[in-house]
Amino acid sequence: MAFMAPQRAAGRRLSGPRDAAGVSAPVALPLPRAPAERTRRWAGAGVRGGAAALGTAALGVVVGLSVALVLVAAERPSFLSGPAEHGFPSWMVGPFAGLLPGLPDSPPALQGDLARLLVILGIAWLVATVFANRLPSAVIWAAVIAAQAVLLLGPPLSLTDVFNYLHYGRMHANAGLNPYVSLPLADPADAAYRYSNWHHLPSPYGPLFTLLTEGLAALKLATAYWTWKAIVFAASIGMLAIVAFTAGRLGRSPKRAVAFVGLNPLVLVYGIGGAHNEPLVLLCATAAVALAVVGRDETAEPWWDVGAGACAVLAAGFKPSAALLAPVVVLGCRRRLPALGGAAGAGALVLAVVDLRYGGHLPAAGIQDRLVTPLSIPNTLAALGGQGGETAGDRALAHVALGLAAVAAAGVVAWRRAWLPGAVGFLMLAAVVTLGWTVPWYVWWILPFAALARTQWLTATCVVLSVWLALGAIPQMPKLLHDVGYYPTRSAVGRANHLYTERYLQ
């Protein structure tokens, strides 16, 4: 019969499988792709390509400006490098020395260039973070590693902290002076003394950190200096690797987390460029959070929680202010008793170092707590309130606020363990905004945990805080404050705060 014959159209078989009666089932033909659909597909590919190009360009800007900054700082002594005021030896300047002999010697122009560089770096940081998912992981990691390595190969940027670190360690190892009791002023013959400036301040750093710097004391100053920079680099990259791993476990974007934490302009210019000790603290703190996250798996061994508690306390062994993290991390672990045991074990280790090596003396955190910078949040609020600056009463209120924040963070993770990264980030934010003494790289304390948090408000806060701290760091800020009628040292309180700070930071 005719209807039983195979049907063909344009050389294609149209009949489908036959049923018991021999009737073939109809088969839907693929329709040709509509021009509008092709246009949308091409437009989407173009958008994705454009996003990838923007992200790549942003990474290139970060690396290029990092190289430019180091070349300028290594050309001649300037405000860019605090230790350069006391000498500019080739071992300190690094391999980029003297590569810009035609650079004009104009401090005002250099100050303006630094402000513009921070603005451009900030924009590039945000663009790279937004479009990070459009880029290969290798490209992001290459840019982060390149930028940080270049900045560490130059002279120390901004302050003299790297030589303060080395001098505190050399005091005990080479001169037999306890850095928690004796002043650096008691050991002026040491090679690091010339380039340091905290000559009237006992060490505010944790015992594990001081013990580490003691281990560098047997080296010549130049060797110890570069060894310390290598430690900073390794700790920073290690911390970023932990952040990327933890982001993946939590369903966040590892690429975006690495870009957000590793390319922040204040982290690069002041944190990495200044070879500060934050990477060691954050390495322990992020490890604590990562171990707690892995320990949530029902098949995980209790040792993950033990490690989480231990790492949280070890962070405090490097910087005392990190002690606030330990209770929050312990409560955020699935097995809280093993976590508490790990914290207790690490605490016993830290106390043993304090007792056996430093005679039971603790860091001079109380002295440092009274230092004041003009644009710290407490000082700004006090000045706006007509007090002229932060007072002892304001400081007490800030301590109460920080204590309440610690209680709130602990309560949150006791209720919802999954909120641990955000709770830690919130606590670190509270620590920064309640400090009377804030410096630009302190935003680093918050960034890793904001990148891991469930909500986006911490991320937005980090952006705003970065802008605020950058304003406090640029050389033009004193003039800008005067232009708006704010003279931090004209009031009695402001003058007293300034004199107190100057007493210890010289």
> What is the pLDDT at residue 487?
86
Which two three-digit tokens encode residue 199?
A: 């000559």
Q: Identify the DSSP state of 81.
A: B
3-state SS class at 429: helix
Q: Identify the DSSP state of 455.
A: S
User: What stretch of H or E contains 179?
Assistant: none
* Residue 367 Ramachandran class (φ > 0 left, ψ -120 to 50 alpha, else beta): alpha
Q: Report CA torsion sign: 123, 53, 234, 308.
A: positive
Which two three-digit tokens encode residue 404?
A: 């309440």
Question: For the residues of 193-225, what is the DSSP string, one character each?
Answer: GGG---TTS---S-HHHHHHHHTTTTS-HHHHH
Tell me how far apart the alpha carbons of residues 135 and 49 are, in angstroms, rounded to a whole number. 10
> What is the pLDDT at residue 485?
84
Q: Identify the DSSP state of 178.
A: -
115 close to 476: Cβ distance less than 8 angstroms: yes
The letter for the amino acid at 256 is R
202-239: pLDDT as tens digits: 999 999 999 999 999 999 999 999 999 999 999 999 99
Which two three-digit tokens encode residue 324?
A: 């606030």
Give the predicted TM-score (pTM) of the model: 0.89
Tell me how far apart the alpha carbons of residues 127 and 260 are, in angstroms, rounded to a whole number. 10
Q: Where are the domains of the chain?
A: 372-436+438-506
Tell me how far apart the alpha carbons of residues 171 and 157 are, in angstroms, rounded to a whole number. 24
Which two three-digit tokens encode residue 411?
A: 């309560």
Nearest by Cα to 271 from 354, 159, 429, 194: 159
Tell me how far apart the alpha carbons of residues 375 and 423 are, in angstroms, rounded to a whole number. 26
3-state SS class at 12: strand
62-86: pLDDT as tens digits: 999 999 999 999 999 999 999 988 8
Q: How confident is the model at residue 92 (pLDDT cuts 50, 70, 90)?
A: very high
Mean pLDDT in residue range 113-142: 97
330-383: pLDDT as tens digits: 999 999 999 999 999 999 999 999 999 999 999 998 888 899 999 999 999 999
